[in-house]
Amino acid sequence: QVQLVESGGGLVQPGGSLRLSCAASGSFFAVYRMAWYRQAPGKQRELVATILREGRINYADSVKGRFTIWRDTPNNMLYLQMSSLQPADTAVYYCNADVDRDDLWGKGTLVIVSS
């Protein structure tokens, strides 16, 4: 069974930084598109950033210049470096990946930005 497991969430003060990680485990051939989404309390899930297998990257306007997505393709890992965090970034962050053409989701990791 293929799983995506996120880690790295927590409580951080405004202006601080956090790094999220996502590990794909199990038996599979390849991971294609990978992405981070987030869902704030009372809001719909929204796309934060995507990275294709060949490396093309897109960011939501709200995080451009503050967040950086990258992947370690041989080890099936996905990362999100978040800087200059704001209270509006408070959300559960989800890892999403196209694994052997199946759309998979992790269970999420909570990020709270508060003083």
How far apart are the C-alpha atoms of 13 and 56, rounded to whole Å?
31
Q: Are 40 and 91 in contact (CB under 8 A)?
A: yes
pLDDT in tens, 29-45: 888 999 999 999 999 99
What secondary structure, in 3-state letters, does 33-65 show? Answer: EEEEEEECCCCCCEEEEEECCCCCEEECCCCCC
Distance set, CA 8 to CA 1, 52, 81, 115 (Å): 23, 22, 10, 19
pLDDT in tens, 12-34: 999 999 999 999 988 888 889 99
pLDDT in tens, 61-92: 999 999 999 999 999 999 999 999 999 999 99
